């Protein structure tokens, strides 16, 4: 065997051995979006979710993921509580929080993730829930808080506060006097619209070292093959 070819084969074997022991993708943990609320201030207002005075309400907040690349979601923090003003005993299992992609300024895109908001009480609190899904930097999404079954009472979703530096933007709402809300959404826009509060946490997806290594070895292989072919021709 040609000694040069043998050397390159030995080099390739070493590189593939390194690939086998390299770790997978690196994840940079952090906050994907912070539309925060001061959990000690319960006078900033709220949005009603569920039954209230003969109507049933559903609400959503639109946001755009900053930066570029993909983000894997891990959990969400929401400031919600059981309404005591209107009475009733709402059951949190009759509600769902879902994250969907934007569809022409409407909350009707693809589902990213969803969960049931368990553990809600009459004491306002910032509650933490697990949520799985992938969002893209520069992408626009909606966080929807929806009743999914008839209920005796309602929940409240606190607004972002103070509204002068957080919580401004698009809000979607719809309601029904006969059953669960369906049909067209009413969209409120502009700096005068205060959004409900939430914090999305996740990890920025970093390209795997293995991917870079495989690409480099493949490129090196093409260069070596080209050199050998030229030698044979000469």
Report pLDDT digits (tens) over 136-191.
Answer: 999 999 999 999 999 888 999 988 766 555 556 899 999 999 899 999 999 998 66
Residue 222 CB neighbours (<10 A) = 10
What confidence score (pLDDT) does residue 18 get?
Answer: 46
In 149-185, which positions are buried (b, 16+ CB within 10 angstroms) versus exposed (e)?
Answer: eebebbbbbbbbbebeebbbbbbbbbbeeeebbeeeb
What confidence score (pLDDT) does residue 113 get?
Answer: 96
Sign, Cα dihedral of 101, 146, 175, 34 = negative
Q: 124 or 25: which carries more pLDDT confidence?
A: 124
What number of residues does the chain have? 234
What confidence score (pLDDT) does residue 166 get?
Answer: 55
Compute CA distances 203 → 29, 111, 136, 143, whole Å: 4, 19, 11, 18
What confidence score (pLDDT) does residue 227 get?
Answer: 57
Q: 111 or 41: which carries more pLDDT confidence?
A: 111
What confidence score (pLDDT) does residue 210 get?
Answer: 47
User: Dihedral of the CA atoms 37, 47, 128, 144 (nearest 10)?
Assistant: -120
62-103 per-position pLDDT tens digit: 989 888 889 999 999 998 888 876 667 888 899 999 999 999
What confidence score (pLDDT) does residue 66 get?
Answer: 83
For residue 112, what pLDDT band results from cuts at 50, 70 and 90?
A: very high
What confidence score (pLDDT) does residue 50 get?
Answer: 92
Whether the model clears a pTM of 0.85, i.e. scores above it, the answer is no
Mean pLDDT computed over 54-61:
93
What confidence score (pLDDT) does residue 46 get?
Answer: 87
What confidence score (pLDDT) does residue 67 get?
Answer: 81
What confidence score (pLDDT) does residue 26 get?
Answer: 43
2-55 per-position pLDDT tens digit: 555 445 555 555 454 444 444 445 455 677 776 665 555 545 678 999 988 889
The answer, yes or no, to whether residue 1 has pLDDT greater than 90, is: no
Strand partners, 142: 62, 100
Average pLDDT in the chain: 77
């Amino acid at each position: 065997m040609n000694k040069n070819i043998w050397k390159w084969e030995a080099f390739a074997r070493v590189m593939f051995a390194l690939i086998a022991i390299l770790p997978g993708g690196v994840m940079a943990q952090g906050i994907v979006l912070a539309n925060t609320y001061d959990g000690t201030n319960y006078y900033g207002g709220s949005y009603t979710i569920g039954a209230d005075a003969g109507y049933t309400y559903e609400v959503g907040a639109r946001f755009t993921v900053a930066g570029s690349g993909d983000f894997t979601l891990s959990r969400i923090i929401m400031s919600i509580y059981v309404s005591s003003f209107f009475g009733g005993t709402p059951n949190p299992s009759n509600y769902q929080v879902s994250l969907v992609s934007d569809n022409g300024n409407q909350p009707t895109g693809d589902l990213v993730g969803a969960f049931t908001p368990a553990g809600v009480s009459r004491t306002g609190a910032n509650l933490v829930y697990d949520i799985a899904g992938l969002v893209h930097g520069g992408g626009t999404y909606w966080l929807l808080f929806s009743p999914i079954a008839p209920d005796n009472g309602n929940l409240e979703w606190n607004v972002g506060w103070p509204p002068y530096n957080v919580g401004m933007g698009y809000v979607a709402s719809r309601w029904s006097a006969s059953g669960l809300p369906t049909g067209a959404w009413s969209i409120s826009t502009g700096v005068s619209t205060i959004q409900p509060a939430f914090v999305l946490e996740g990890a920025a997806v970093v390209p795997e070292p293995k991917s870079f290594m495989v690409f480099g070895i493949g490129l090196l292989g093409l260069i070596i093959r080209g050199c050998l072919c030229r030698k044979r021709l000469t």
